[in-house]
Amino acid sequence: MSDQSKEQNSMPTSKVERSARFVKTGFQVGGNYIKHYSKKLFNPDMDKSQLNEDNATDIYASLSELKGSALKVAQMLSMDKNLLPTAYVDKFSQSQYNAPPLSGPLIVQTFKKYFGKSPEQIYDKFNLRSTNAASIGQVHEAELDGRKLAVKIQYPGVGDSISSDLKLVKPFAFRLLGMSEKELDVYMREVEERLLEETDYELEVRRSIEFSTACANLNNVVFPEYFPALSSKRIITMSWIDGQHLKEFMATNPSQELRNQIGQALWDFYNFQQHELRAVHADPHPGNFMITPEGKLGCIDFGCIKEMPEDFYYPFFSLTSTNLLDDKAETIKAFRELEMILPKDSPQQIEFYYTQYKQMIGLFAKPYLGTTFNFGETAFFDDLYSFGEQIAKMPEFKQARGVKHFIYVNRTNFGLYNILHELKAEVRTDTFKPHLVGA
């Protein structure tokens, strides 16, 4: 838990304050570049690792203070290990677990705004020190009628500053990702849509109840109980789930059997939603899960849900889960439906994208091909990452390709693969299969 000295006593909430913070960071980053190129004059062989380290530190410090959508984008980018230099991945991944928490007076202010009462007037006990602080809100321990509760409080101004924050984060994203303007716009629009939902805690409570009820029969998966009467647009009250985050759990050197059990619970949790509900918990970073003392997977956050329309679901899962890739004409047809091949493409471009995407999907689909898959094997991930790096360097992939649904569906599935890899779990991959036309 953070020291009191590291707590934030104020937070930039207005557009002017927040944009001033971004401008200041922009100057710091500019200064880092000047420093880097000055040193390079005397040492021409110097690489960019120190520059990346300095920029990552300054940008992360700024985003941590601003919290909200800016920090959320950093968190998302840290999960996509192919997009960023290692320094950024290492620094930004801190936001998956802990950002500097807000101080007590700011918490009381939020309660008074939404309930007209302080937390002490609502709960029998309420700990003003947060147990966990992330990108959009922080969690506090409370007690009511003998029950231990987790109270999630959204940072002030976060929900109201999404659009303006994303405009401000755009130049950083543009420089870091090297995406085309059009591609970045599609990315940012889809991110904005999900973040607007994610900051609506009333919607999150409704979805959490709906999804935890729908997933209630899954083996070794547990959910908190939610309390709508003690929740509001910016506060959620739920029952407390005891457990450890993935890093802490792995530090206990758990048995292969237990790692497989947690891995299976994760695989079933995601694939049940994708194929039975056609909507999925699209925020698979380790901070959203707890591993309970009984060896179950506790799912503690349903803020980000991605729905999959039929015109995306069928062509996408036909490619990953059938022998459709063996039929070139049908594969190209699916690629066109998913806008991976575009109407104006020349025959040479069609051939190029067909070859690259076929290889990419063939790699992605490997876990689905048999009845079990060992995510502990590094060869699969080495292939995935090296192919990702190869693609990232190709000028043909600088332009926007693929429908917007890929952004969160890819993030979900690669996020799932990465957690399973960290668990070194072997799982049965045939428990929930795609429902396909004619299948």
User: Which of the four pLDDT bands, split at 50, 70 and 90, describes residue 369?
Assistant: confident
Which one is predicted more confidently, 60 or 255? 255
Q: What is the pLDDT of residues 153-181, one digit of tens each?
A: 987 777 776 776 677 666 655 555 555 66
Identify the pLDDT of residue 17: 58
Lowest average pLDDT, out of 59-73, 116-130, 317-331, 407-421, goes to 59-73
Per mean pLDDT, which range of 217-221, 244-248, 282-286 is the poorest? Answer: 282-286
pLDDT at 175: 57
Residue among 277, 264, 212 at smallest CA distance from 430: 264
What pLDDT, on the 0 to 100 scale, is given for residue 368? 87
User: Over 50: is that where the pLDDT of 3 sits?
Assistant: no
Asked whether the beta carbons of 33 and 51 are under 8 A apart, the reply is yes
Give dist(CA 264, CA 258) in Å, integer: 10
- Output the average pLDDT for the chain: 78
> Is the pLDDT assigned to residue 152 strictly greater than 70?
yes
Mean pLDDT across the stretch 380-385? Answer: 86
Which residue ranges form the domains of the chain, and what is each CATH number? 4-98+164-176 (no CATH), 103-154+200-240 (3.30.200), 242-439 (no CATH)
Q: What is the mean pLDDT of residues 352-376?
A: 91
Closest to 399 measured CA to CA, from 187, 105, 128: 187
Q: What are the angstrom distances between the C-alpha of 384 and each of 1, 15, 31, 379?
A: 35, 40, 35, 9
* Structure confidence at residue 171 (pLDDT): 65
Give the separation between CA 163 and CA 167, rounded to whole angstroms: 6
Pairing, β 279-281 against β 297-299: unpaired
385 or 56, higher pLDDT: 385
Mean of pLDDT values over 250-267: 97
pLDDT at 286 over 70: yes
More confident residue, 77 or 378: 378
Angstrom distance (rounded) from CA 283 to CA 220: 20
Does the structure show a pLDDT above 50 at 425?
yes
Residue 41, pLDDT score: 52
**Is 358:414 a contact under the CB 8 Å cutoff?**
no
pLDDT for 72 beyond 60: no
Record the pTM: 0.75
pLDDT of amino acid 439: 46
Poorest-confidence range of 36-50, 113-127, 138-152, 206-220? 36-50
User: Percentage of the chain surpassing pLDDT 70?
Assistant: 69
Read off φ and ψ for residue 19, nearest 5 degrees. -70, -35
The predicted structure's pLDDT at residue 4: 39
Least confident segment among 79-88, 115-124, 269-278:
79-88
Residues 6+ apart with CB under 8 A from 317: 275, 434, 436
